[in-house]
Amino acid sequence: MEGLRVLVLAFSPLAGDARVLKQVRHLVAAGAEVVTCGYGPAPDGVRAHVEVPPGTTNELDGRLITAHAYRAAYWAQAATRWVRRRIEPGSADVVVANDTDTLPLAHALRPRLGVHADLHEFWPLWREEYPGWKARIGPYQEWICRTQLPRARSVTTVSDRIAQEYTRRFGVPVEVVTNATPYAVLAPGPVGAPLRLVHTGAGLRSRAIHVMVEGVRVAARAGADVTLDLYLTLNDPPYLAELRRSAEESGGVVRVHDPVPYADLMPTLNGYDVGIFVLPPVNFNYANALPNKVFDFVQARLGVIVGPTPDMAELVREHRLGVVAEGFDTAAVRAAVLAAVGSDVAAWKQASHAAAAELSDARQSRRWVDAVGRWAVDGG
């Protein structure tokens, strides 16, 4: 792979896109000459960076979508047009195309060896809970997948069930690269009294964080010696305000914090006992999620509480990391919290410690390097 010219393309702020940063880090470490294209400054280690201007964004033309003029709608988007004008076709050996919004562009850039598609969601059902999105944008996403995925030389996604659905719907083989977290050199801390639960991530109403909050509050009222700390990003200010009010009414059981920088996340989490994420299955992606925060909890050497989301539940059970709630409502969260309070949480933390190397991104993310490296060996 030494000297292979790889363009990593993503219409996201790269500094905050953990999955893209892992691609960059592993490809650079393998000797590739990596050029990135996306929003914000260049990631560390890249040979060059094409920064998309912050005011240049992709927005679909509703009239073209209504007319099912999907190709025209795609190429009418401002950021797509901007990148196409600034990157010379054929200038890369490989394009790593992150998500469907980069796929037609990646193929148009004509990389010498081909396109690798990395899909962070199952895009045709991304917002299926919204009827307008499902009726109008879902078919557009289907069109991209149907026309572009068979042209990709290899495809990866984030979980087994999402991979299976891409294969079933579009007939392409898909490998899994989980959203694993880099290995953290940490040790399990002693179990606290009260038992310290923690949740981190986006402050989105669709994630039903209020259900976790209420489940912990009800468990505390039932006698559980437990606290819950939330580190949430400001995605939905009114919702975050609701959560803060609930925390204030909890008598100190629940606390809401600003998010910490990623560099400080593992040491911060390591000071807790159990990470909790009970994600309601409001759409296909939520129902089949295997999110990075579960891997964060493992690297922080915590026990884990999750809902019965299949891939999350399987991971927790296989490695004996904690407890799987029986459902997604307040009663199920309450029962899981009470079970945690009465369990050997120290053993859960030791189980995370034992699994940390296996579940780190060092093994998972090599699959991007291996896929692209095979092309270089084959010479195209």
Contact between 365 and 26 under an 8 Å Cβ cutoff? The reply is: yes
Q: pLDDT at position 233, please?
A: 92
Within this chain, domains 5-177+365-378 and 195-355 share the same CATH topology: yes
Q: Over the stretch 155-177, which tens digit does the pLDDT of each residue have?
A: 999 999 999 999 999 999 999 99
CATH 3.40.50.720 fits 195-355, yes or no: no
Burial of 15 (0-12, 13-18, 19+ CB in 10 A): middle
23 closest CA partner among 138, 156, 130: 156
pLDDT band, residue 374 (cuts 50/70/90): confident
Region of 379 (left: φ > 0; alpha: ψ -120 to 50; beta: rest) is left
Question: What's the mean pLDDT in 171-200?
Answer: 97
Q: Over the stretch 73-114, which tens digit does the pLDDT of each residue have?
A: 999 999 999 999 999 999 999 999 999 999 999 999 999 999
SS3 39: strand
SS3 99: coil
Q: pLDDT at position 363, please?
A: 83
Q: pLDDT at position 380, please?
A: 58
pLDDT band, residue 262 (cuts 50/70/90): confident
Q: Over the stretch 32-73, which tens digit does the pLDDT of each residue have?
A: 999 999 999 999 999 999 999 999 999 999 999 999 999 999
Q: Is the pLDDT of residue 313 over 90?
A: yes
Whole-prediction pTM: 0.92
Q: pLDDT at position 1, please?
A: 79
CB-based contacts of 68, cutoff 8 Å, min separation 6: 139
Question: What's the mean pLDDT in 242-267?
Answer: 95
- Above pLDDT 90, what percent of the chain? 93
Q: Over the stretch 335-348, which tens digit does the pLDDT of each residue have?
A: 999 999 989 999 99
Q: Over the stretch 228-240, which tens digit does the pLDDT of each residue have?
A: 999 999 999 999 9
Q: Where are the domains of the chain?
A: 5-177+365-378, 195-355
SS3 170: helix
Question: What's the mean pLDDT in 14-20?
Answer: 91
pLDDT band, residue 2 (cuts 50/70/90): confident
Question: Omega before 89 cis (within 30°)?
Answer: no
Tokens of 287: 């129902």
5-177+365-378 folds as Rossmann fold (3.40.50)
pLDDT band, residue 379 (cuts 50/70/90): low
Q: pLDDT at position 314, please?
A: 97
Interhelix angle 160-170/131-148, rounded to 10 degrees, is 70
CB-based contacts of 3, cutoff 8 Å, min separation 6: 31, 32, 33
Question: What's the mean pLDDT in 198-225?
Answer: 97
